[in-house]
Amino acid sequence: MTPRPVRVLTALLIATAAATVVVEVLNFWYAPERGVGFAVRTGWALVRTLGWLILIFQVRRARATAKPLSLILTMTTLFAVGRLIVPSSGRPPLPGLISFGVLALLCLTVVVLLHRHPGIDAHLIHQPRRPVLTREGLSLREAPPSDPWVLTARLASFSYSPLMLVPALTAVGTLRHRPEWTLAVILWILAGIAVSYVALLSAYFIGRGSHRARAALTSTTLAVLAFDLPLCGILLGEDGLIRDGAPLVVAAAITGYALRRAAHTPARVAV
């Protein structure tokens, strides 16, 4: 039977996913203008809502990735929804501010429960069983626990690609007034796609204790910041730098901190 704290957490996650949709609908309703940038950011916010459904599944299945995923989802949700609430000029609508406050409270409550509640922590310690070939034949064994800092670095680095593609696609709408930046925007989009493969390969070898993979992901993080932030500032202005650059900076900081902590943790060998 599912423990009561887990059931409460699941209900909060469902409420958070629903609140995210409500806030996005209110933003769309009150938005003074609906250009390309607004459409891209709203689409990304809606797609990211599916992440909360994945988190519900992982909590129910007692997956260790639930903790870092909740941290990444909270960070991206608050930035993505918050940047839709604040208009380019004027004051944000009161209903939007109230709904954002409720959403922020739900997100923070979810993170605190996942990281601090002993009952939920005990629930997430359980590891899934997997088939292992032994001398006696095929049997089920408990999978070795994963380093939570490695999982955090993996998930945080996986967010680089969408956090780059959102401003890059938003910048497409500015090219009719600044066609000389067309090649830069194309390279921006290609870089956003390529970094997903680099993060995937690095994350795989980091899980096996590779020091080179940690160095490669650190270098990739710095390169992503050096490439993305100037383009955000040039093509999207100061507003775009805050709206689109800040989430990437936070994701990079989480990745760097997690890599540093993982470097001091002995690698676990699967048996």
Residues 65 and 189 in one domain: no
Percentage of residues in the chain having pLDDT higher than 90:
29
**Is 98 contained in some domain?**
yes
DSSP string, 37-85: HHHHHHHHHHHHHHHHHHHHHHHHTT-TTHHHHHHHHHHHHHHHHHHHH
**Is 139 contained in some domain?**
no
Whether residue 271 is predicted with pLDDT greater than 70 in this model: the reply is: no
What confidence score (pLDDT) does residue 88 get? 61
Residue 237 backbone zone (phi > 0: left; psi -120 to 50: alpha; other: beta) = left
Mean pLDDT on 215-225: 94
**Is 65 contained in some domain?**
yes
Whether residue 253 is predicted with pLDDT greater than 90 in this model: the reply is: yes
Percentage of residues in the chain having pLDDT higher than 70:
82
Choose one of 73, 97, 129: the last residue of a domain: 129
Pick the more confident residue, 45 or 23: 23
Mean pLDDT on 5-34: 82
Residues 56 and 148 in one domain: no
Instruction: State how far the Cα of 161 lies from the Cα of 194, in Å rounded to an integer.
Output: 8
Choose one of 129, 154, 183: the last residue of a domain: 129
Whether residue 31 is predicted with pLDDT greater than 80 in this model: the reply is: no
Residues 19 and 111 in one domain: yes
**Is 138 contained in some domain?**
no
**Is 269 contained in some domain?**
yes
Distance (Å) of CA 197 to CA 161, 200, 218: 9, 5, 15
Mean pLDDT on 197-206: 86
Nearest to 156 by CA among 70, 268, 261: 70
Whether residue 46 is predicted with pLDDT greater than 80 in this model: the reply is: no
**Is 27 contained in some domain?**
yes
Q: Which pTM does this prediction carry?
A: 0.78
Residues 113 and 155 in one domain: no
What confidence score (pLDDT) does residue 185 get? 95
Instruction: State how far the Cα of 24 lies from the Cα of 38, in Å rounded to an integer.
Output: 11
List pLDDT tens digits, range 100-150: 888 899 999 999 999 888 888 888 865 555 554 455 554 444 444 457 788
| Domain span holding position 197 | 144-271
